[in-house]
């Protein structure tokens, strides 16, 4: 039985991983997070929950001693980009020092570390990017994620880094929205919305990112992999496609450029990823953005949102 330890299991990606790994009987899943599990009650037989604060080095070592995992999938991070800019100490604690704790534990146990990273390690001047592109973060969040990547790469443990972009999806007991839910709700209420047309991304369905992480495990792959969606879109494009899918009034969507929004953290304009390496080496095959909307639509109906 292969043991896999997941950090941030209450989050969007963490939940999708636990849900998908239920279909893999060769994996024993240990889900972790701060405090109690917020995963659905009917999943309890499929994983073991362990409270683990990744910023507490001793607690991390204790959990690794108890579980002795073959794989770690590290999904936990401080990801609110503006909050990272205004609370740098907390951001560094969560995104860098916590990774040091996990690297140390993996070193002791011989655990294969799968680390989730971001397109925000790039400045957005010449996206979409390959795995070999030179990072140059514009904001503190991106800086900490790049620093944590380097910690993993320099660690002499077995590692893989899955870089991703603008992850969207629906999870249990989560307050965070996403662009599809926000556009749908706003237009259904007849509210006009302003959406930027000068930022480019390859938005990623959370289920696809989970599949990418599982493929890395299945193949015991090492190195950096771009795991994102395949469609290169602006948020305005995404909003229009959402309106079209749900048959809502597109005239309520106003195109604006990002300069009108005053935000503490700078955003790169043109990121997104080229995913040929993940397709070729892992067999990764993400959904289109329109198919992703369809999947979310079914989940919204089931959740009665």
Among 114, 124, 127, 240, smallest CA distance to 187 is for 240
Neighbours of 303 (CB within 10 A): 10
Mean pLDDT of 91-101: 98
Q: How far is CA 214 from CA 14, 18, 219, in A?
A: 12, 11, 9
Neighbours of 160 (CB within 10 A): 24
Concatenate the DSSP letters of all residues of 1-38 into one string.
Answer: -EEEEEESTTSHHHHHHHHHHTT-TTEEEEEEESSS--
CA distance 173 to 154: 37
pLDDT at 305 over 90: no
pLDDT at 176 over 70: no
The structure's pTM equals 0.97
Concatenate the DSSP letters of all residues of 83-133 into one string.
Answer: HHHH-HHHHHIIIIIHHHHHHHHHHHHTPEEEEEEEGGGS-SSS-SB-TTS
Task: Give domain 2-168+204-229+271-287's CATH architecture.
Answer: 3-Layer(aba) Sandwich (3.40)
Neighbours of 257 (CB within 10 A): 12
Mean pLDDT of all residues belonging to the chain: 96
Among 268, 289, 288, smallest CA distance to 128 is for 268
CA distance 143 to 166: 17
Tokens of 263: 């935000």
- pLDDT at residue 175, as a whole number: 62
| Helices and strands of the chain, counted as H and E runs | 11, 11
- pLDDT at residue 173, as a whole number: 73
pLDDT digits 0-9 by tens, 43-85? 988 999 999 999 999 999 999 999 999 999 999 999 999 999 9
Mean pLDDT of 106-120: 98
CA distance 145 to 296: 28
Per the DSSP assignment, residues forming a β-bridge with 270 are 200
Q: Residue 8 region, left (φ>0) first, then alpha (ψ -120 to 50), else beta?
A: left
- pLDDT at residue 223, as a whole number: 98
CA distance 3 to 71: 6
Cβ 66 vs Cβ 50: under 8 Å: yes
Among 5, 42, 37, smallest CA distance to 21 is for 5
- pLDDT at residue 177, as a whole number: 78
Please count the residues of the chain: 305
pLDDT at 187 over 70: yes
Concatenate the DSSP letters of all residues of 238-303 into one string.
Answer: HHHHHHHHHT--GGGEEEE-GGGS--SS---SB--B--HHHHHHH---PPPHHHHHHHHHHHHHHH
- To which residue do tokens 């009034």 refer? 249
CA distance 138 to 124: 9
Per the DSSP assignment, residues forming a β-bridge with 112 are 71
């Amino acid at each position: 039985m292969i043991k896999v330890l997941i950090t941030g299991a209450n989050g969007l990606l963490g939940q999708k991983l636990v849900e998908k790994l239920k279909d893999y009987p060769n994996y024993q899943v240990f889900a972790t997070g701060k405090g109690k599990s917020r995963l659905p009650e009917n999943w309890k037989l499929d994983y073991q929950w362990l409270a683990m604060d990744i910023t507490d080095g001793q607690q991390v070592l204790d959990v690794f001693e108890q579980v002795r995992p073959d794989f770690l999938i590290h999904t936990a991070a401080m990801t609110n980009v503006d909050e990272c800019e205004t609370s740098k100490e907390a951001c560094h604690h969560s995104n860098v020092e916590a990774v040091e704790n996990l690297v140390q534990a993996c070193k002791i146990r011989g655990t294969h570390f799968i680390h989730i990273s971001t397109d925000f390690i790039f400045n957005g001047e010449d996206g979409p990017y390959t795995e070999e592109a030179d990072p140059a973060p514009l904001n503190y969040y991106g800086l900490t994620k790049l620093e944590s990547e380097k910690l993993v790469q320099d660690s002499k443990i077995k590692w893989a880094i899955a870089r991703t972009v603008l992850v969207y999806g629906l999870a249990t007991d989560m307050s965070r929205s996403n662009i599809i839910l926000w556009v749908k709700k706003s237009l259904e209420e007849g509210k006009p919305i302003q959406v930027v047309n000068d930022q480019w991304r390859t938005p990623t369905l959370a289920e696809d990112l989970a599949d990418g992480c599982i493929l890395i495990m299945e193949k015991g792959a090492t190195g950096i992999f771009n795991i994102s969606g395949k469609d290169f879109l602006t948020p305005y494009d995404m909003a229009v496609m959402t309106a079209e899918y749900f048959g809502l009034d597109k005239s309520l969507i106003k195109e604006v450029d990002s300069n009108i929004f005053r935000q503490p953290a700078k955003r790169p304009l043109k990121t997104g990823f080229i995913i040929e390496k993940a397709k070729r080496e892992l067999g990764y095959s993400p959904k289109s953005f329109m198919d992703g909307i369809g999947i979310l639509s079914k989940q919204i109906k089931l959740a009665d949102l």
